[in-house]
């Protein structure tokens, strides 16, 4: 690689190559009113130790989950991250690993992906899982395209309990193939299955349901599967894999495709990403799966090896004929999830689910005792629930920041009919003292 230094002579050479005489000529098409007419107002450069000190002061202004009690949810959760994860992903073998096109040089990366696929398939109760997608929203959108391709139908029925951010991504994906989206309402927190029966028809490619849903409530996945299959449609279930140490896997309840956000499997929240998209399906849908699939084989000497078993080349070179335009995966986040699942094991995952559910129900009881506060829905919930507050949730959340509490997610931006509601998530990390402090602070905030 040839490096070009920034000398005046070389600048002149580059400008003459593109046919302009000066930087001003290059910028001539930029309107004067859009150009800065004064020097940049930048501080003087700092010594390295001063810069580090300055950046630490700025970082300390963030309300992060290490310094605050975090009750945020809505798709990203403050679960414990076992210490081996950061140690293992910091190994040099994983720093530069990207697309393992050459299996003989990528056995370690391929094996970690293979183990990830196996664990996700077991957790979700499905036959096969792909090597991961970008996040839960894109996983759902890809599953919708799968259903359209398999059934050759153009209608998708989604529960209003599906994460509204996921639904926005589905709407964007649906524009290309002109899919028609239909939403069924929720009834006291869970999907109205009577409405689902009326909405699902011979034109429906898939019924989409999330359990626990965006509002924290558990759904009747098996009943939804019966409704979908009776019309010849697929059931796409959105699930949080961390919960599946306790909850029945969607595959055992009749789901054809299971998608979700895998961030809770050892991936830090990181102020919003990167995340981990989970996608698993029945074996007869494998040819329609997006992304890639790693498989195990043996070489000529009988030694076990790993290869890219399935990766549709149209995803790279003939995009208009592709089943998906996703042709990579978030391998590092998938590696984190693999280490997390292996470290925790089935008993550990079950314990995480049990503690999260128990603490969430304790928190819901304590918070609902605050005058003017009540649970918004009567449907059963798992580790997340919706509170109705007597004062605007946005103001309450700001007040509780003074007590170093991240109180939850106000729901007004997602649904104006829930403008007085707050979504609260409780994981195994929250202590009784933190929950009690939340209740005490909430009393003062709504008084």
Q: What is the DSSP string of 1-17?
A: -------HHHHHHHHHH
Ranges 90-104, 254-268, 397-411: which has the least confidence: 90-104
* Ramachandran class of 71: left when φ > 0, alpha when ψ lies in -120 to 50, beta otherwise: alpha
Q: What percent of the chain has pLDDT over 90?
A: 75
Given 3.40.50.12280, 3.40.1160.10, 3.40.470.10, 3.90.1150.10, which CATH number is that of 69-81+345-446? 3.90.1150.10
- pLDDT of res. 318: 65
Query: Sign of dihedral through CA atoms 82, 83, 86, 88?
Result: negative
Query: Sign of dihedral through CA atoms 368, 372, 375, 378?
Result: positive
Ranges 145-149, 295-299, 433-437: which has the least confidence: 295-299
- pLDDT of res. 27: 86
Cα of first residue to Cα of last residue in the chain, in angstroms, is 66
Name the residue with higher pLDDT: 327 or 399.
Answer: 399
Q: Does the pLDDT of residue 389 top 90, yes or no?
A: yes
Q: CA 338 to CA 346: how far, in whole Å?
A: 13
What residue ranges do the domains of the chain occupy?
69-81+345-446, 83-340
Query: Which of these, 384, 426, 391, lies nearest to 405 by C-alpha position?
Result: 426
Residue 357, both tokens: 């559910």
Query: What topology does CATH give the domain 83-340?
Result: 3.40.640
Name the phi and psi angles at 146, rounded to 5: -60, -50
Ranges 33-37, 207-211, 411-415, 438-442: which has the least confidence: 33-37
Q: Does the pLDDT of residue 344 top 80, yes or no?
A: yes
- State the Rg of the chain over Cα: 25
Q: Does the pLDDT of residue 436 top 60, yes or no?
A: yes
Report the pLDDT averaged over residues 329-338.
93
Rounded to 10 degrees, what is the CA torsion of 109, 271, 350, 253?
-80
- pLDDT of res. 126: 97
82-133 tens-digit pLDDT: 999 999 998 877 765 556 667 767 888 889 999 999 999 999 999 999 999 9
Chain centre to alpha carbon of residue 219: 20
- pLDDT of res. 323: 72
Average pLDDT, the chain: 92
Q: CA 424 to CA 434: how far, in whole Å?
A: 13
Q: Does the pLDDT of residue 1 top 50, yes or no?
A: no
């Amino acid at each position: 690689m040839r490096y070009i230094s920034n000398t005046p002579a070389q600048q002149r050479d580059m400008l003459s190559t593109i046919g302009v005489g000066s930087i001003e000529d290059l910028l001539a098409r930029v309107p004067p009113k859009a150009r800065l007419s004064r020097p940049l107002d930048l501080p003087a450069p700092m010594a390295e130790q001063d810069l580090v000190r300055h950046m630490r002061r700025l970082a300390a202004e963030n309300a992060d989950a290490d310094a605050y009690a975090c009750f945020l949810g809505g798709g990203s959760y403050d679960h414990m991250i076992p210490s081996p994860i950061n140690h293992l992903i910091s190994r040099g073998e994983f720093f530069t690993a990207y697309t393992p096109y050459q299996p003989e040089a990528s056995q370690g990366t391929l094996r970690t992906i293979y183990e990830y696929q196996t664990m996700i398939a077991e957790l979700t109760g499905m036959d096969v899982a792909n090597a991961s997608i970008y996040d839960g929203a894109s996983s759902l959108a890809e599953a919708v395209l799968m259903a359209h391709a398999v059934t050759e139908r153009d209608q998708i029925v989604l529960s209003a309990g599906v994460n509204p951010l996921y639904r926005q991504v589905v709407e964007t994906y649906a524009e290309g193939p002109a899919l028609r989206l239909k939403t069924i309402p929720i009834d006291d927190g869970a999907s109205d299955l009577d409405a689902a029966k009326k909405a699902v028809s011979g034109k429906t490619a898939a019924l989409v349901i999330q359990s626990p849903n965006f509002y924290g409530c558990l759904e009747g996945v098996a009943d939804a599967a019966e409704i979908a299959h009776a019309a010849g449609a697929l059931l796409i279930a959105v699930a949080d894999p961390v919960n599946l140490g306790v909850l029945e896997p969607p595959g055992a309840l009749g789901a054809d495709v299971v998608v979700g956000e895998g961030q809770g499997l050892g991936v830090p929240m990181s102020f919003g990403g990167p995340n981990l998209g989970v996608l698993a399906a029945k074996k007869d849908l494998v040819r329609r799966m997006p992304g890639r699939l790693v498989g195990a084989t043996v070489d000529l000497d009988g030694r076990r090896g790993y290869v890219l078993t399935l990766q549709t080349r149209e995803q790279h070179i003939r995009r208009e004929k592709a089943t998906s335009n996703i042709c990579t995966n978030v391998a590092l986040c998938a590696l984190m999830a693999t280490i997390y699942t292996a470290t925790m094991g089935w008993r550990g995952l079950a314990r995480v689910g049990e503690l999260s559910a128990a603490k969430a129900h304790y928190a819901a009881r304590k918070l609902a005792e605050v005058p003017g506060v009540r649970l918004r829905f009567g449907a059963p919930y798992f580790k997340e629930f919706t509170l109705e507050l007597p004062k605007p949730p946005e103001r309450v959340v700001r007040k509780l920041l003074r007590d170093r509490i991240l109180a939850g997610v106000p729901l007004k931006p997602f649904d104006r009919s829930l403008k007085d509601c707050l979504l609260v998530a409780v994981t195994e990390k929250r202590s009784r003292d933190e929950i009690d402090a939340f209740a005490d602070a909430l009393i003062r905030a709504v008084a």
